[in-house]
Structure 1
Amino acid sequence: MPRLIREHRPGQIVNTLRFAYHALRGFPVTRLPYDPNWLVLLITARCNLHCYMCSFRNPQCPIPIRSSFQDMPLDLFGQILDTYPRAIVVELSGGEPLIHPRIFEMIHLAHARRMKVHIPSNGTLLAGKMEALLQAPVEILNVSFYGTDAASFAQMTGADGALFDVVVQGVAELARRRRAGGYPRRLRTSFVCSKDNLHLVPDFIRLSEKMGVDDVKLRNLRFHDIPGLPESTSLSADDPEVEEFLEDLRRQHFRIPVFLPRLPRQDDQRRCDHPFRLVAIDGDGFIGPCCVKAAKRCWGNLLEQANLWNGPAMLQARRVQTDPNSPLPPICRYCEERIPERPRLGG
């Protein structure tokens, strides 16, 4: 609470408290008396990798999800901030967000509105953006790693394995040059875990320690809509092999905090708070109800319609998440975003 009051404007504080109140009550209504607390802005669909677990760029996807929108114009970015000024977090995502030619202008515009900027990146462009990143007011920079050496990186990304060393060197330099209390405030690495790559996780954590990052986040593979990824590749809390892996990880000592993947159970019916907390918007102005489902025409367009936050599509997305008689959509079943607990070890 003190940090919320210290770092945000009165309207943002009140909006956050209203969201928290409704969250404590289990979101009793679908027409919300507050604005989105979090904005996920898909500022580019472009990426320089072709990761097999990514619906954006997997070449096997018959219709790559969210791959056809333009780079978000700066005036649309400003319009979004004007429309939702009470948000406290702006995630600049994509695609690879550092490809966007005006991303640093966006960072400073959001910061001027007292909004925390989060950026997920594949890290391949850090070296060329180093000076700007050290000056840009970014709260969290999350660098996703796809492997622990050149060979595993190439296998997972479809890119030249030499890029692996580029990413490692970029993260290490950013960590080394970042001044105390400087930017990015938190430098994190993350790793998408599947049954096929669990053996790489300890090496990844050790590598992250050597690079000097603040913490590590392990994520569960979301396989829905990705050709060639069967359900069995995702991690489940009911799987003895996964349980054994986590127990082995807990027996090891890590110097930095490690956030473990959030795992569903076979009978897990927990619902997601994303449609109640955030809105995703792509470069063409189309919206979506979470950070996973595509922003697309059926949800509405910020440039064409008013009050989309409480529009018919968002209301329906919330009903699905609150109705115990409504089955979970397939895309939600193995999505870790609906599981609130994220166990931690190390640090």
Structure 2
Amino acid sequence: MKEGYPVLKEDIFLAKIKTPSGFKVKVRNTTTEQNFTATPLMFIVLELCTGTNTVPEIIKTLCGEAHSSDAVIKNIESIVKLLLENNIITMNKTPSKGRSIKEIKLKYPLEAAQIEITNKCNLSCLHCFNNSGNPHPHELTTQEILSAIDALSRGGVHQITMTGGEPLLHPHIFNIIEHARKAPMSVDLFTNGTLITEDMVNQFKNRIRRFNISLDSVDASIHDTFRGKKGALEKTLQAITLLKEAGFPMKFTISLSQLNKSTIKDVLRYFKENNLTEFTITPVRYSGRGKTDITVSLEEYYQVSKEYLTYCKQEFPEGILKKHKKERDECSIARRSMLIKSDGTIFSCPGCDRGPAIGNVRDTDLETLWEHDGLLDKIRGITANTDTTCKMCAYLDFCVGCVAGAYSFQETLRCCYPFLCILNRAYDEVVGFT
């Protein structure tokens, strides 16, 4: 057995989460995004891997003063070895206090969050739901952002997406990322890509899990018009090349509008040629600057969805995200994820940024709000199984609905989001549910 003081690795999220029947343990590597299943004895050993106990001291603590059998000693040593091999713990040469295990007592433990670290943006996109451009007059300070990340971590968040505006315009972006990594959280960055340089890419290594990049067309006349700045496409494509060469995972969002509805296949061909398989095609939302004549109708979205699914089925099957029977009966809104806006306003879901708000990080305790807010309880009661339209749908077994999408489209709290219904219909006709 390797000598030293076993301690939890800095990127391991370890939490004891309260459940109606007791508690469950979550062990997650925030760098690789892999979960690790811990047995009850393994969890007890992890509790003692504080960085101040040697393995013999851990064995003595577990067995008391009584003589330990060789079998017991070997069992504990094998657990420590397994934890080392799976990069859950490491060995310090000298005693040094490590992180304590998180204890999460929320009825609805958080898992993920999105935070707008600034509303400032270098583009002026026609469809921007956020009306981004200038900083919000009451933007969170860097210290307030760090405090919000700490509060999210206490609530169970182990995955955070930083967005804006354009997050790379924040002067302390790398300090914020580093703080989240130490929480520990995996960090995604939602960016237009135009500001990414080779030096930045090197700084992103071991810090960013995945980049979410907006790409609406590979035709500069369309993309640049859509994004409100000449040369935007060229810079975004350069960033994609840099990130791809560095091995970063990327996910792309194509904002579907009247401007690009006839050129989606060109973007898909670009994805295929560059082996970029993660993307979503999302209709421009009816909010912010999206409330214009560039939005597509339900019928137009249906036709585009059929066209892109048909192309992918025939030419680019890796680009189709397979739909299977749902594992849960409800979407994550008000249950597992939340959004914090650049001014500190809290929303129940990253997709529900236009209301209704549930508070502000400046004047409320996040955990108390999440546990006791009446509006959140109301939202949690909305499910596809109870929605008057959803519960009669042929795709109920595969779809949890989208409360945020429904609200942005109809300003009504319900599950049925017509654009999602249309996508399910197109998917079933072209690919088929399994």
Fold-level similarity (TM above 0.5): yes
Larger Cα-atom Rg = 2
Secondary structure of residue in 1 paired with 2:311: helix
Q: 1:287 aligns with which of 346, 354, 359?
A: 346
Query: Who is 1:24 aligned against?
Result: none
Alpha-carbon deviations, 1:201-258, whole Å to 9, x = none? 2221332345x46433022214323322476435678x4564244223321146xx32
TM-aligned CA deviation for residue 191 of structure 1: 1.5
- The structure whose RCO (Cα within 8 Å, separation 6+) is larger is 1
1:201 aligns with 2:264: yes
Letter in 1 for 2:353: A
Q: Judging changes above 3 Å, is the alpha-carbon distance between structure 1 residues 244 and 199 closer, same or farther for their aligned structure 2 residues?
A: same
Query: Who is 2:280 aligned against?
Result: 218
Secondary structure of residue in 2 paired with 1:248: helix
Q: 1:309 aligns with which of 370, 380, 385?
A: 370
Query: Who is 2:191 aligned against?
Result: 121
Which whole-Å CA distance do the structure 2 matches of 1:340 and 1:109 have between them?
39
Secondary structure of residue in 1 paired with 2:120: coil
1:227 aligns with 2:296: no
TM-aligned CA deviation for residue 187 of structure 1: 2.3
Answer yes or no: is the 8 Å Cα contact 1:187–1:213 preserved in 2. Answer: no
Which whole-Å CA distance do the structure 1 matches of 2:424 and 2:112 have between them?
16
Q: Judging changes above 3 Å, is the alpha-carbon distance between structure 1 residues 335 and 243 closer, same or farther for their aligned structure 2 residues?
A: closer
Answer yes or no: is the 8 Å Cα contact 1:40–1:279 preserved in 2. Answer: yes
Q: 2:222 aligns with which of 149, 152, 166?
A: 152
Answer yes or no: is the 8 Å Cα contact 1:42–1:93 preserved in 2. Answer: yes
Which whole-Å CA distance do the structure 2 matches of 1:231 and 1:280 have between them?
24
Secondary structure of residue in 2 paired with 1:90: strand
1:87 aligns with 2:157: yes
Alpha-carbon deviations, 1:295-345, whole Å to 9, x = none? 7794211221231112123223323457535995315725659x9999799
TM-aligned CA deviation for residue 163 of structure 1: 2.2
Alpha-carbon deviations, 1:61-87, whole Å to 9, x = none? xxx9xx735443232222223222221
Q: Judging changes above 3 Å, is the alpha-carbon distance between structure 1 residues 87 and 143 closer, same or farther for their aligned structure 2 residues?
A: same
Secondary structure of residue in 2 paired with 1:9: strand
Which whole-Å CA distance do the structure 1 matches of 2:299 and 2:193 have between them?
25
Answer yes or no: is the 8 Å Cα contact 1:194–1:235 preserved in 2. Answer: no
Which whole-Å CA distance do the structure 1 matches of 2:207 and 2:166 have between them?
19
TM-aligned CA deviation for residue 128 of structure 1: 6.8
Letter in 2 for 1:227: K
Secondary structure of residue in 1 paired with 2:281: strand
Letter in 2 for 1:154: D
* Further displaced range: 291-300 or 36-45: 291-300
Alpha-carbon deviations, 1:161-193, whole Å to 9, x = none? x221111112112222x15xxxx3x12333223
Query: Who is 1:274 aligned against?
Result: 333
1:42 aligns with 2:42: no
* Further displaced range: 286-295 or 222-231: 222-231
Unaligned runs of 5+ in 1: 1-5, 18-30, 263-269
Which whole-Å CA distance do the structure 2 matches of 1:15 and 1:38 have between them?
17
